[in-house]
């Protein structure tokens, strides 16, 4: 095989490799500069992108679907997520793994019925299957049931705070694999009735790393 023929066959493969999604650089989408609300920005973002949220109060409930693995929600300034008057349940629900949320305040998540289902009012709900989620400097204020409900494995919180509500942090692993060694919970500084509530045997607040 001549050198020119070898290069002619190799070049399309090289171009294809650089054009593949796995090699694409992560993008940043901005709220409200490019999208008027957080959910629209998340819907348009690709897995691994950053959603940069400018100061303001955003009156919406936000969902990070499973397809958005590695998404980063970053507040720039005083960012408040307040679903008051909307559907009951979590202010921020995370179904994707390896999501990072930082510098955001969630408040006033309410408990109520949605059809035949009663949804707990939770500030940030990391659902079962959403592993490796990191919460950094997230504050939950006045959420009916809990500031934070962590079901996914290897969830970590750093500098997070819950004020008001029935619980600060609720830790539950419905798959039976959640163990205290998989959770890193910062101390709770809220004013609710229970700082940390665990819903599975063998997961003890006193065993958590702080």
Q: For position 183, what pLDDT does the model report? A: 37
Inter-residue contact 70 to 64 (CB < 8 Å): no
Helices (H), 25-182: 38-44
The whole-number pLDDT of residue 174 equals 40
- Given a cut of 80, is residue 156 above it in pLDDT? yes
The whole-chain average pLDDT of the chain stands at 77
134, 104 contact by CB (below 8 A): no
pLDDT, one tens digit per residue, over 194-205 is 445 555 444 444
**182-210: average pLDDT:** 43
Cβ(172)–Cβ(179) under 8 Å?
Answer: no
pLDDT tens digits, one per residue of 88-125: 889 999 999 999 999 999 999 998 876 666 678 999 99
Confidence of residue 168 (pLDDT cuts 50, 70, 90): confident
pTM metric for this prediction: 0.75
Dist CA 102 CA 209 (whole Å): 20
- Kindly state the percentage of the chain with pLDDT values over 90: 45
Domains of the chain: 26-207 (2.160.20)
pLDDT at 157 over 80: yes
């Amino acid at each position: 095989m001549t050198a020119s023929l070898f290069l002619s066959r190799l070049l399309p493969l090289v171009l294809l490799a650089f054009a593949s999604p796995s090699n694409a650089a992560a993008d940043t989408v901005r709220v409200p500069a490019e999208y008027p609300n957080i959910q629209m920005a998340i819907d348009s973002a690709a897995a691994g992108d950053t959603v940069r949220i400018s100061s303001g109060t955003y009156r919406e409930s936000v969902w990070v679907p499973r397809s958005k693995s590695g998404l980063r929600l970053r507040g720039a300034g005083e960012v408040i997520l307040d679903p008051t008057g909307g559907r009951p349940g979590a202010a921020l629900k995370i179904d994707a793994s390896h999501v990072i949320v930082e510098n955001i305040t969630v408040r006033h998540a309410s408990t109520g019925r949605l059809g035949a289902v009663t949804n707990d009012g939770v500030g940030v709900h990391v659902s079962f299957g959403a592993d490796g989620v990191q919460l950094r400097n997230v504050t939950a204020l006045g959420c009916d049931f809990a500031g934070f409900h962590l079901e996914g494995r290897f969830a970590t919180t750093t500098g997070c705070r819950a004020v008001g509500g029935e619980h600060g942090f609720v830790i539950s692993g419905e798959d039976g694999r959640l163990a205290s060694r998989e959770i890193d919970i910062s101390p709770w500084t809220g004013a609710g009735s229970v700082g940390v509530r665990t819903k599975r045997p063998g997961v003890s607040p006193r065993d958590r790393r702080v």
